[in-house]
């Protein structure tokens, strides 16, 4: 592992492996903001987990879930082992605070203690349905 610290166990050198968590508000930021780092860490043998707070959908509709599908595809290409969606709808941007979509909560209104209970896990390599 380039730049890593050596570890010896039972007379043999073993690689140090870290779990790297890339946390982003929206799907697509994993590739736009940290894609190179994620890819490099995965290639170096580290376990990479991508966490997104919201699904990227402002409203319910026919394209709902598309950005999470794109996230799963991106994570697989980058070599991430797991994707976690915290379960929130996109908050939007600007000065307007939109109402929550039916049955969903916008991330801007998230209860900090609630997120871990609502998270939806998936493995980008082993699970067909996710987030």
- Distances in whole angstroms, Cα of residue 41 to Cα of each of 17, 26, 46, 111: 10, 21, 5, 31
Residue 10 lies in a domain: no
Residue 7 lies in a domain: no
- Per-residue pLDDT, 30: 94
For tokens 């990479």, what's the residue?
48
Residue 29 lies in a domain: yes
Residue 43 lies in a domain: yes
Regions in the chain scoring below 50 on pLDDT: 1-2, 123-131
Give the CATH number for residue 81. Answer: 3.40.50.10320
Domain count, the chain: 1
* pTM for the structure as a whole: 0.76
- Per-residue pLDDT, 12: 78
- Per-residue pLDDT, 124: 46
């Amino acid at each position: 592992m380039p730049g890593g610290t050596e570890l010896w166990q039972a007379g043999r050198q073993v690689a140090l492996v870290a779990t790297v968590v890339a946390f982003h508000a929206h799907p697509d930021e994993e590739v736009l903001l940290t894609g190179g780092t994620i890819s490099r860490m995965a290639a170096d043998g580290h376990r990479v987990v991508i966490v997104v707070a919201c699904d990227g959908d402002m409203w319910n509709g026919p394209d709902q879930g598309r950005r999470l599908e794109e996230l799963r595809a991106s994570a697989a290409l980058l070599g991430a082992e797991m994707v976690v969606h915290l379960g929130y709808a996109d908050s939007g941007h600007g000065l307007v605070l939109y109402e929550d979509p039916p049955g969903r909560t916008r991330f801007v209104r998230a209860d900090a203690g609630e997120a871990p209970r609502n998270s939806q896990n998936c493995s980008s390599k082993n699970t067909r349905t996710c987030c």
